[in-house]
Each structure stands twice: as structure tokens, then as C-alpha cells.
Structure 1
Amino acid sequence: ESIALHRQALRLLPARHRSRALYITRLAIALRARFAESGCQDDLRECISLHRKALSLCPQGHSDRSQSLSRLANAYWTRFELCGTPDDLQCAIRLDTEALELHLVGHPNRTPALVALAMDLS
């Protein structure tokens, strides 16, 4: 199973490895895919936790920060749609706003960031 292999790869990776955020993100994405198929909320909870951990490894100025912000925002949005918890919506809005601020006019990722924030606000 994909998730088991991602977990194993992450366990083998040194704690300070420069690609650790990427490995964590890949596991989070696999859990999100399984959640989409099964509806298991534990998978979504772990997905959010892992995306938070990956974001913590992408400080200001990191090349993957905006993508990490967007993925975490999307996971919070999914949980908001499922549970209706206002805090999840606020987190999604805050994270998507920060991601948008990283993309100046003309940046190729600005449009997707605008769309994500617009969906949060609708």
C-alpha cells in the first residue's frame, strides 16, 4: 500500500534531511486520496497534521512555502465542508491569503491562489 511505503520512507529519512517536507507532503497527499475514497476522518485529521508539519519546515522565503500553504488550506477547507467547523474555514482563509500574498501579479500561481481564496470566501 502506498501509505505504508510513504511511512517507511519517512522513518528511514534523517530528521534534518533537506527533503523531509516533501516526504511528509507525499504521505499527506496519499492519506488525502484515501480519505476521498473511504471518507475516514482519521485520514483527513492526519493529513492536516502532516501538512502542518511540512509547512513548519518551509519558513518564509522557502521555495515550497506557497504550495505548502495551499495544500494545508485545502485540507482545512475539506474538513470545513465535512464538519462545518468555523475554525477550519478561518484557517483555510488565513492560509490561502498568505499563499496569495506570495504571488505577485504576473506570477503563474497567482490565479490558482485567487480561485482558492475566492472559494473559501463563497
Structure 2
Amino acid sequence: LELCPPEHPYRGMCLRNLGRNLRKSSVQTAAIRDLEKSVELLRRALKLHPIGHPDRFSSLYESALCLSLRHDQYGEASDLEEAILLGREALELCPSGKPDRGVIL
């Protein structure tokens, strides 16, 4: 992220990729701080991937995964509700026949 300043066109992608990797790390190590940081980074990525942006689907998908995982850890209903909303939006961006549709289902 240090090499990709806030105005850089790939900033959102860098945030999403780091968030995804921290989510994976949290699963491997059970480090809850990695999961919390992942949720934060993915929220920032979503702000940079508004409706119509080509990377919005992957940011929505990763955010939904992280929130679902955090719900599993803490049992917060709001995390699961948000994960469902984001997952539904991701599904809308993925029409039938598109390879990514099976992943989100």
C-alpha cells in the first residue's frame, strides 16, 4: 500500500488483495486481528469500487466472506446481515453462465 498512494488507480485492488490475504491468514492462524484488519481494508476497497466498477464483484465477494467469517467468530447478527446483502449484490453482478456465479452461490 505504501507504493500505491490513495489517488492511484490500483489502490482499490491493492486493498482488496491485502484484505483477502489477511482473511486467509486469519483462517490459518486464528488471528482475529487479521480478520478485523481484513474487514477494514475490504470496506475501503468497496468505497473505491462503486457501482459500475469492474472490480466491484470481487470486492463484494471478499467482503461478504470476511463478514461471514467474523459472524462465525463473534456471533454478531449484523455481520451476517451485511454479508448476505453484499453477497446478493455480488450475485446480481454475476449473470447465469458467468464462471464466477458458482463461487458466489
Question: What TM-score do the two structures reach when normalised by structure 2?
Answer: 0.92
Counterpart residue number, 1:73: 64
Distance in 1 between residues matched to 2:17 and 2:38, nearest whole Å? 10
In structure 1, stretches of 5+ residues that fail to align are 1-9, 116-122
Aligned length: 105
Counterpart residue number, 2:8: 17
The higher-RCO structure (CA 8 Å, 6+ apart) is 2
State the shift of 1:110 in Å: 1.9
Percent same amino acid among aligned pairs? 36
Distance in 1 between residues matched to 2:100 and 2:20, nearest whole Å? 19
SS at match of 1:12: coil
Partner residue of 1:91 out of 78, 82, 93 = 82
**CA radius of gyration, larger in:** 1
Distance in 1 between residues matched to 2:63 and 2:47, nearest whole Å? 11
State the shift of 1:27 in Å: 1.6
Amino acid of the structure 2 residue aligned with 1:71: E
Question: What TM-score do the two structures reach when normalised by structure 1?
Answer: 0.80
In structure 2, stretches of 5+ residues that fail to align are none
4+ residue runs over 6 A deviation: none
Compute the RMSD of aligned alpha carbons: 1.2
Structure with the bigger percentage of helix: 1
Counterpart residue number, 1:119: none
Counterpart residue number, 1:6: none
Partner residue of 2:91 out of 95, 100, 115 = 100
Amino acid of the structure 1 residue aligned with 2:20: I
